[in-house]
Structure 1
Amino acid sequence: MFMTRCDESMPFLLRYENVAWYEDGAVRILDRRVYPAEVRFAECLTYQEVRQAVADMVTQSAGPYTAVGMGMALAAHQCRDMHSSRQSGFLKQAAGDLAHARPTTANRYGIITNRCAEVGIQALEEGKDAAQAIFASTVEALNRRYAVMQLVGDALAELIPQNGSVLTQCFGETIVGTVIRAALRNSKVFRVFCAETRPYLQGARLTAGCFAEMGFDTTVITDNMAAYVMEREGVDLFTSAADTIARDGHIANKIGTFQLAILAKHFGIPYFVTGIPDGDKPGAKDIVMELRDPAQVLSCGGISHTAPGVKAIYPSFDVTPPELISGIVTDRGVFPPDGLEQYFDGPVRTFY
């Protein structure tokens, strides 16, 4: 039905059906909050349920990019029996709702959902199945994203020394899969340390699981062990993806990235950020910071670990300034953080 898929030889988490998938009037999303202890899928029967699943972090990192696309296919299914005069408005409403499931990455989600709305409306005008048209467009976008991110993974793999050690932060989704694929293709061997990334433990559960599944020497550390590991375990490179890369070199990533960048600077360890710069975000002031339910900090895995009356805060991201970043690894090569404007000199590949 589709072109050759770009998720071959990827870890379980990154196979298309295991990210988010539309079929028969429902969207299935792998619940990454409980994986790998449990392989459980959230089944959404309306696009509003998809939006809530993204807001509740059923899927994280780049997973929502796929989920909102599949959610748009579900929106088209929902409005299939409406009068034609209402269907376009319904799809546009769904595009806006899904795009704003999480604030920091609303711009990226919006690129996806608005394109899906356009595809769906065109299909309706041509008398075609809008849900299937949007589904096909979303799979095509998945192929495109995986192919573009393979260029990033190839470039990152070249920066890692043979038999070296890498420290990761959170779960970089496709960059994890593509750097693994590049390393295996070129017989590049390295050790991986994964910061656990509280409160959802994406580093411990997702990143570490992917590397271990594909045969890499993988070690999980708690978030307060990074200085010890950098000083005593021979870390050669610190890397993370980014939920937003502003044009002036500021990046937003999972909370805790900023402090790891400070430590890396102290120990003389290069920090390479991976991803595609956001052309619509000139600087740090344009990054919207998401604040989540503090109750999620007061417990872990559903078990409370604080006394009654104790309060918490939960900023989902922090912003790392360009002076702490050694380079930003993109599909066009590695750029200095203060030279990102050069990235936009030529035509920009469609990433989402």
Structure 2
Amino acid sequence: MGTEQIQSVSFDGKTLHILDQTKLPALKQFLQITTIEHCWQAIKELKVRGAPAIGIAAAYGLFLGVRDVCSSATFDEFDHVFQEKSDYLASSRPTAVNLFWALKRMRARLMAEKGHSIEDLKAKLLQEAHAIKAEDEEVCRSIGLHGLSLLHDGMTILTHCNAGGIATAKYGTALAPVYLAKEHGWNVKVFADETRPLLQGSRLTAWELQEAGIDVTLITDSMAAFVMAKGWVQAVIVGCDRVAANGDVANKIGTYGLALLAKAHQIPFYVAAPMSTIDMETASGAHIPIEERDAREIINGFGVPTAPADVKVFNPAFDVTPNELITAIITEKGIVRQPYQESLIELFKEKSENSMPQYGNSEEGNQHVTA
């Protein structure tokens, strides 16, 4: 058992290296991506997954898409190619707002550098992709420190899907407080939901927590109520793919049911969300597009027939958890609670320099909520 976190996305100047999460846990294999088409495929096929990691990969992928534009091109010609490639990448995953956030940020950098040579523009775009990755690592650490204030030594949390280090630049979102707890010498245990139908909890979360030397117990999704009823879970922490302006949250399918179970058992339900995942332009969860995936993921998952081949299948990748079921949303700038419609607006008004919280003050909540 190892004790190190894996870097799931990196760029060496020529090649984008992506940990192929579809091969885990059997094989730790890195894809060598040199074209935007391969990047699109990696995002679409969940080889890279987790909202922040998708955003990082998309930023590098967009650079790959424009790096071969002729240096004699005009800015308008370069911009045309840039927008075409950006739209192409945007078609890979419609729900993860970080994908669109990263693409918009790359475009903003392009427009800010208008007037430079084509080669300079390429260099500036690569610089921006590097910045997105570096900032995500700091964001995740800040989420971890804020989230740590909600935990205490010796407690057990339950998580769903994978919102760990391999879904981000480092630390993860939902798992960031767990990694920070380990750094501080705490004994925090984790129940990991298996997460049907693609088993991100068993293939990814259980794997990376074991790699980091953290006490993890794998359960199927249908066992969550049982372990809650036993009193074995003191908090639920999940990541998310999008937070609407009213605090509704889209996350991996099964999250909504887990939130209902947490409420029934009076267990706090926390959502870890980087600011880039909060979409203030989407009024509520009803307006979040929900990706529907191939029926084969359910009836022929991992190549093994598990249902009649011609049975009708409904396979949404995400569900929406209503804001009233969410105890708090943990961001890099602080922790927000109800009413989310107002507190999220206030959160965006705050200065980016936010002091780190004290941790371990209480079993169920923190004392530093400012928004």
Retained in 2: the 8 A contact 1:211–1:218?
Answer: yes
Residue aligning to 2:333 = 332
Counterpart pick for 1:98 among 89, 92, 96:
89
State the alpha-carbon separation in 2 of the partners of residues 314 and 337 from structure 1.
31
1:67 aligns with 2:57: yes
Please give the residue correspondences for 1:135-154 in structure 2 after superposition, counting only pairs within 5 Å: 135-154=126-145
Please give the residue correspondences for 1:46-125 in structure 2 after superposition, counting only pairs within 5 Å: 46-61=35-50, 62-80=52-70, 83-84=73-74, 85-105=76-96, 107-120=97-110, 122=113, 125=116
Per-residue CA shift, 1:238-266, capped at 9, x if unaligned? 11011111121211100000111111111
Residue identity (%): 27
- AA of the residue aligned to 2:328: G
Distance apart, 1:165 and its partner CA: 0.8
State the alpha-carbon separation in 1 of the partners of residues 334 and 31 from structure 2.
37
**Bigger CA drift: 288-297 or 127-136?**
127-136
CA, structure 1 residues 118+126, in 2 after alignment: closer, same or farther (shift >3 Å)?
farther
Retained in 2: the 8 A contact 1:29–1:41?
Answer: yes
Residue aligning to 1:33 = 22
Residue aligning to 2:306 = 305
Distance apart, 1:209 and its partner CA: 2.0
1:45 aligns with 2:43: no
Per-residue CA shift, 1:190-235, capped at 9, x if unaligned? 1100001122211112222222222221001111111111112510
3-state DSSP of counterpart to 2:191: strand
**Bigger CA drift: 96-105 or 160-169?**
96-105
3-state DSSP of counterpart to 1:42: strand
1:290 aligns with 2:327: no
Retained in 2: the 8 A contact 1:22–1:70?
Answer: no
The gaps in structure 2 that reach 5 residues or longer are: 354-371
3-state DSSP of counterpart to 2:94: coil
Could you state the TM-score of these two structures normalised by the residue count of structure 2? 0.83
- AA of the residue aligned to 1:40: Q
**Bigger CA drift: 180-189 or 231-240?**
180-189
Residue aligning to 1:162 = 153
User: Between Structure 1 and Structure 2, how many residues are aligned?
Assistant: 336
Retained in 2: the 8 A contact 1:123–1:133?
Answer: no
- AA of the residue aligned to 1:114: K
Distance apart, 1:294 and its partner CA: 1.3
3-state DSSP of counterpart to 2:162: coil
Per-residue CA shift, 1:160-184, capped at 9, x if unaligned? 2321110001111321553234212
Greater RCO (CA < 8 Å, at least 6 residues apart): 2
State the alpha-carbon separation in 2 of the partners of residues 155 and 83 from structure 1.
47
Retained in 1: the 8 A contact 2:193–2:218?
Answer: yes
Counterpart pick for 2:177 among 176, 179, 182:
179
State the alpha-carbon separation in 1 of the partners of residues 294 and 81 from structure 2.
30
Per-residue CA shift, 1:121-149, capped at 9, x if unaligned? 63772353444432221111111122122
State the alpha-carbon separation in 2 of the partners of residues 237 and 177 from structure 1.
12
Residue aligning to 1:235 = 233
Distance apart, 1:19 and its partner CA: 1.9
Distance apart, 1:40 and its partner CA: 2.2
State the alpha-carbon separation in 1 of the partners of residues 279 and 352 from structure 2.
12
Residue aligning to 2:207 = 209
3-state DSSP of counterpart to 1:175: coil
1:221 aligns with 2:219: yes
Residue aligning to 1:5 = none
Distance apart, 1:120 and its partner CA: 4.7
Distance apart, 1:340 and its partner CA: 4.5
State the alpha-carbon separation in 1 of the partners of residues 328 and 250 from structure 2.
15
Retained in 2: the 8 A contact 1:248–1:337?
Answer: no
Distance apart, 1:23 and its partner CA: 3.5
Query: RMSD of aligned C-alpha atoms?
Result: 2.3
Residue aligning to 1:342 = 343
CA, structure 1 residues 216+250, in 2 after alignment: closer, same or farther (shift >3 Å)?
same
Distance apart, 1:10 and its partner CA: 5.9
**Bigger CA drift: 77-86 or 110-119?**
77-86
The gaps in structure 1 that reach 5 residues or longer are: 1-8
3-state DSSP of counterpart to 1:318: strand
CA, structure 1 residues 104+349, in 2 after alignment: closer, same or farther (shift >3 Å)?
farther
3-state DSSP of counterpart to 2:67: helix
Retained in 2: the 8 A contact 1:164–1:236?
Answer: yes
CA, structure 1 residues 323+177, in 2 after alignment: closer, same or farther (shift >3 Å)?
closer
Residue aligning to 2:364 = none
- AA of the residue aligned to 1:141: I
State the alpha-carbon separation in 2 of the partners of residues 299 and 83 from structure 1.
48
CA, structure 1 residues 325+243, in 2 after alignment: closer, same or farther (shift >3 Å)?
same
